[in-house]
């Protein structure tokens, strides 16, 4: 069975004309791969048009930039759970560890005969349940909390395939606390993305693969507006002004693969206006 993957990215470009391109269609595509990248604790205005994030802004220019995208809450962990399972699972802080028996994006994909893997920078060992290790933080790795999700699918980023055709249907890429902009700078996070995923992005454009880059939340000083970027050959490049949040992104991925909407994703629409 052919696998499919989705990836998420945020980028910066001028906001003068936040109008969806007329060429976009309402049908949701079925990418062969989707990669989701989650960054940390910066608002839309701190990323878009910031000279410290040239690579991210180049992604925004070449893909779909959502100019009205929002996180769900504060702090970090509930937002990761919302995007992964449609619910914060009752978690309202960054505590660790947690154990959930409810369904997740991973479980839905596996049940449909599709594949999932999470790639976390600094994860000390395959399937590790540790809460902290160096700059690795389990609070940013939601699949580790779900007992129905196989530990074998939780991998160090060093296991990210160099042959991108071997990517799973959906994968998450989680940089460590220095490289996701949580403890490090915007420039450091931007460089990490370029150094580690630019080859994938180039490949994706001719291989029906989608990258999604987004942020868990803003820095707590604004209204929780964050940058969200879709990059792939199925995307009509431009700026899109409809209001979306993490639930809409989850619902879009579920719609791509015919999965039942989870939790609060049931109450929102998939993103349908950015596709070729």
Looking at every residue in the chain, the average pLDDT score rounds to 92
What 3-state class would DSSP assign to 20? coil
Q: What is the mean pLDDT of residues 64-79?
A: 98
Whether 100 has a pLDDT exceeding 50, the answer reads yes
Residue with tokens 């990248």: 37
Q: What is the mean pLDDT of residues 238-260?
A: 98
- C-alpha distances out from residue 60 to 21, 35, 80, 148, Å: 14, 16, 22, 35
Q: What b/e string do you get for 128-137 counting C-beta neighbours within 10 Å, with b at 16 or more?
A: beeeeeebbb
Q: What is the pLDDT of residues 25-43, one digit of tens each?
A: 568 999 999 999 999 999 9
Kindly give the pairing relationship between strand 228-231 and strand 209-215.
antiparallel
Please state the domain extents for the chain: 6-12+21-267
Whether 17 has a pLDDT exceeding 50, the answer reads no
- Tell me: domain 6-12+21-267, CATH 3.40.720.10, correct? yes
Share of residues in the chain with pLDDT > 70 (%): 91
Whether 2 has a pLDDT exceeding 50, the answer reads no
Residue with tokens 């990517």: 167
Q: What is the pLDDT of residues 165-203, one digit of tens each?
A: 999 999 999 999 999 999 999 999 999 999 999 999 999
pTM for this structure?
0.91
Q: What's the token pair of residue 233?
A: 């050959």
Residue 25 is predicted with a pLDDT of 56
Question: What confidence tier does 8 reach under pLDDT thresholds 50, 70, 90?
Answer: very low
Whether 11 has a pLDDT exceeding 50, the answer reads no
Q: What is the pLDDT of residues 119-128, one digit of tens each?
A: 999 999 999 9
Residue 27 is predicted with a pLDDT of 87
Share of residues in the chain with pLDDT > 90 (%): 89
Whether 7 has a pLDDT exceeding 70, the answer reads no
Helix axes 54-62, 186-204, angle to 10 degrees: 40
Residue 221 is predicted with a pLDDT of 85
Beta carbons within 10 angstroms of residue 30's beta carbon: 16
């Amino acid at each position: 069975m052919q696998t499919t993957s989705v990836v998420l990215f945020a980028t910066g470009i001028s906001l003068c004309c936040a109008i969806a391109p007329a060429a976009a269609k309402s049908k949701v595509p079925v990418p062969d791969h989707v990669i989701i990248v989650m960054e940390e604790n910066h608002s839309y205005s701190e990323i878009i048009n910031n000279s410290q994030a040239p690579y991210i802004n180049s992604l925004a220019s070449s893909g779909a930039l959502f100019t009205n995208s929002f996180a769900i809450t504060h702090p970090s962990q509930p937002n990761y759970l919302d995007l992964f399972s449609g619910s914060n699972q009752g978690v309202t802080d960054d505590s660790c560890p947690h154990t959930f028996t409810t369904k997740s994006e991973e479980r839905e994909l596996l049940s449909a005969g599709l594949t999932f893997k999470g790639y976390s920078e600094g994860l000390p060992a395959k399937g590790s349940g540790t809460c902290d290790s160096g700059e690795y933080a389990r609070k940013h790795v939601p699949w580790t909390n779900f007992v129905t999700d196989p530990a074998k699918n939780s991998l160090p980023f060093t296991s990210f395939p160099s042959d991108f055709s071997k990517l799973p249907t959906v994968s998450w890429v989680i940089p460590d606390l220095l490289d996701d902009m949580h403890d490090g700078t915007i420039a450091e996070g931007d460089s990490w993305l370029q150094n580690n995923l630019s080859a994938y992005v180039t490949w994706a454009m001719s291989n029906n693969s989608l990258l999604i880059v987004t942020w868990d939340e803003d820095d707590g000083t604004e209204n929780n507006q964050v940058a969200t970027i879709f990059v792939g050959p199925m995307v009509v490049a431009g700026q899109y002004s409809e209001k979306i949040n993490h639930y809409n992104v989850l619902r879009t991925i579920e719609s791509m693969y015919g999965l039942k909407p989870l939790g609060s994703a049931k109450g929102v629409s998939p993103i349908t206006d950015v596709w070729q």
